[in-house]
Amino acid sequence: MIEQVLTFLVGVGLAASVGLRISFPILIVSIFSYSGYITLSTYFVWLGTLPALIVLIIIATIDTLAFYIVWLDNLLDAIEHPVSILVGILITGAVITEFNPYLKWLMALIIGGGIAGTINAATGLLRLKISTETDGKRNFAFSTLEILGSIGLAIISIFLPFIAGLISAIALIYFSFVIKKKFLSPSKDDD
């Protein structure tokens, strides 16, 4: 039972880190799978191969460079959201190995996709706000924080799943309020 809880929390933490930046959690899972530290579900064993690792390093490098170009950073937000949901689902399903397949994919769909999508939507809104308010001058700092947060949370998810679960829950609550404030709160013009 404890093994199921741990793999579930690893999946939750990785999904949250995907919400911050898509490519880095997958790269970290690939590194730890390749080194034999984590075991992936049957259909995701390929992530732990050298060719997958090389491709993911290239993708993470391109991803990093693209997010430091303001107009490309904002353009990528348009396609990043649905991709983050999909990757959140897949990465959660890849690391949850101790569950019935139907339950595993239900959890991956609802929890993995939900967490990744919520955090990604909120960080996209925050990045757009920062870009608008500073003419893109602070995008570099925000993107750097996203990358560091994504890498840090992905590593914490693998080594300290309970801490990652707690961080993910706090992040989910905070970012849910960011979205609520942006879309569900009455605007100041309505007063």
Cβ neighbour number for residue 112 with a 10 Å cutoff: 30
pLDDT at residue number 157? 95
Q: Which domain holds residue 91?
A: 2-181
**Domain assignment of residue 190, yes or no:** no
Indicate whether 167 belongs to any domain.
yes
Q: Which parts of the chain sit beneath pLDDT 70?
A: 70, 73-74, 77, 184-191
pLDDT of residue 114: 93
- Beta-carbon contacts of residue 175 (< 8 Å; ≥ 6 apart): 19, 118, 119, 121, 122, 123
* pLDDT of the residue at 19: 92
Closest by Cα among 24, 25, 19 to 123: 19
pLDDT for the residue 188: 61
Q: Please report the pLDDT score of residue 189 as a whole number.
A: 54
Q: What is the pLDDT of residue 95?
A: 92
Residue 117 covered by a domain: yes
* Residue 145: inside a domain: yes
Flag whether 86 is in a domain. Answer: yes
Q: What is the pTM of this model?
A: 0.87
Judge whether 189 lies within some domain.
no
Task: Tell me if 49 is assigned to some domain.
Answer: yes
User: Is 64 domain-assigned?
Assistant: yes
Whole-number pLDDT of residue 137: 77
* Two tokens, residue 29: 């899972």
pLDDT of residue 187: 63
The domain total for the chain is: 1
